[in-house]
Amino acid sequence: MVNAHLPEIKEFAGTLLQSYPMLLSVVLFGTCTLLLSQGATTPLIIPLALSLQVPHWAILASFVAVTGVFVLPTYPTSLAAIEFDGTGTTRMGKNIFDHPFLLPGLVGVVVATLFGFILAPMVV
């Protein structure tokens, strides 16, 4: 069913990403969150973005968004940091999206992506 409409999907996605290149950051961040791997996200999405003719500067600016592994509290580094805290001040919340790494991580990704979109067009 999807294969029958693949040309229309590619055309729509390409037009959307060319009109709003910052959406690539959202795609990279969401994919990394679900795959829990920067190494799997990059070869999956970047060639797709290149084939959809996303500007190179937008790909460079969006690349920082592949750091979405901290969103779900399943990443071993986050879990180890919580376990190593002897004071007990770093702990998981009651909800999935309620842990001490979420807000600083989101702020870091958003700020770095914004700076990327300011600086990348000047560099590339």
For 78-123, how does the pLDDT look when each residue is reduced to its tens digit (9 = 90+)? Answer: 788 878 877 877 777 777 777 788 889 999 999 999 999 999 999 9
pLDDT at residue 38 in the model: 93
Cα dihedral 27, 28, 29, 35 sign: positive
95 in a domain, yes or no? yes
Could you list the residue range(s) of the whole structural domain that residue 66 is in?
24-123
pLDDT at residue 32 in the model: 93
4 in a domain, yes or no? no
2 in a domain, yes or no? no
Condensed to tens digits (0 to 9), the pLDDT of residues 24-67 reads 999 999 999 999 999 999 999 999 999 988 999 999 999 999 99
pLDDT at residue 45 in the model: 93
User: CA 86, CA 92: separation in Å to the nearest integer?
Assistant: 14
88 in a domain, yes or no? yes
